[in-house]
Amino acid sequence: MRNTETDLPIEKQITGASRDVDRLRRLSYSDHRFLPDLVDALCELAKFRSRIGEPGRSERLYSEALVHCKESDIEVAPELLFRIHSLMACHFDNSERNEKAVEHYEESLRLAEEANLLEPIQVAVVHNNLAMLYKRTSRPEAAEKSYLSALNKFQKGLDRNNKDDARVASVYNNLGVLYYSKHDFDRACEFHSEALTIRQKLFGENGHHYDLGQSYNNLAAVHKAMGNYEMAADYFSKVEKLGDIADPTVQSGIDPESGVGEVVTE
C-alpha cells in the first residue's frame, strides 16, 4: 500500500495520481504484469476524487479496478482485493448507501479471513466500521459481534506495552453507544468508562480534546438514564468546561487507510 499522504496540495496529488493511472494503463495493455500496479494507482486516484467531492468519478475508478482484477489472467493478491473492497465500502458509507457499504465491508473481511495475511489492525478497522453500519441498519446483534471482533483484532495487532490507542477507545465508545441504545446502561457505562480511561491517558485528565468531550457527554447521558443525577451533573460540567458538547448517539468511524478516527453521526 502506498503512502501518498504528503504536504502537497490535493490538486497536485490528483495530477500526479492521474499521470500514474494513464502511464500504467498503457503499460498494462501490452503487459498484464502491470495490472496490480494499475489497480493500486486507480485506488489512489479514486480516494483523492472522493475527498474533493467527486463521488461519481471515484466510484467509476474503483469499479474499473475491480473489473481489471476479475479479468486478470494473473493472480491478484488478496491484500489488494481487500484494499479495493474496504475503500469502496468507505466510499459507499460516506454517501449513505448503506447496503452497498455493508456488501463491500463483508467481502473485504471474507478475503481477510481466507488469506490470513493481513495485519490484524487493518481487519479491526473494517470490523469497527461495519459494526457501525449494522447498528445504523437495525442489526444490533451483528453490530455487537463485529465490535467485539474489532477489539480482539486490535489487541492482537497492537504492541503489548502500547494498548492505549485512540482507535481502541473509539471501539469502546461505539460499544457504549450500542448498549445505550438497547437500554443496557450498566454495560454502556462500562464501555464508555474504558474509552474515557484510554482518552485521559492519551490527552491528559484535564486535556482539551473532542474525544474527551464525547466520553464525558456519553457518561453523563448514561448516568442520567441510570438515575445517578449527581454523577451525570459532574460529567456534564466537564463537557461545559471543554466547550464542545458531543451527541451521546455519536459513533467513531476509522479511516481504513490512515487509521485516523472520524466522527460519524447517525
What digits encode the pLDDT tens for the residues 71-113? 888 888 888 899 999 999 999 998 899 999 999 999 999 999 8
pLDDT < 70 regions, the chain: 1-7, 160-161, 244-266
Q: What is the pLDDT of residue 107?
A: 95
How much is the pLDDT for 264?
30
Residue 118: the pLDDT is 81
E strand or H helix at 251 = strand 251-254
pLDDT value of position 7:
61
Instruction: Give SS3 for 218.
Output: helix
Q: pTM for this one? A: 0.82
Q: Exposed e or buried b for every residue in 230-260, given b needs 16+ CB within 10 A?
A: ebbeebbebbeebebebebebbbbbebbeee
Q: What is the pLDDT of residue 247?
A: 52
> Three-class SS of residue 191?
helix
pLDDT at 254: 61
What does the angle CA 259 – CA 166 – CA 135 come to, to the nearest 5 degrees?
75
Q: Per the structure block, which three cell numbers stand in for 225? A: 438514564
In 10 A of CB 144, how many CB atoms?
18
Other Cβ atoms closer than 10 A to 167: 21
Is there a contact between 219 and 200 (Cβ–Cβ < 8 Å)?
no
How far, in Å, are 16, 139, 147, 176, 214 from residue 192 at the CA level? 43, 21, 14, 5, 9
pLDDT of residue 265: 28
Sign of the C-alpha dihedral computed for residues 111, 117, 122 and 128 taken in this order: positive
7 CB-side CA count, 13 A:
0
DSSP summary character for residue 182? T
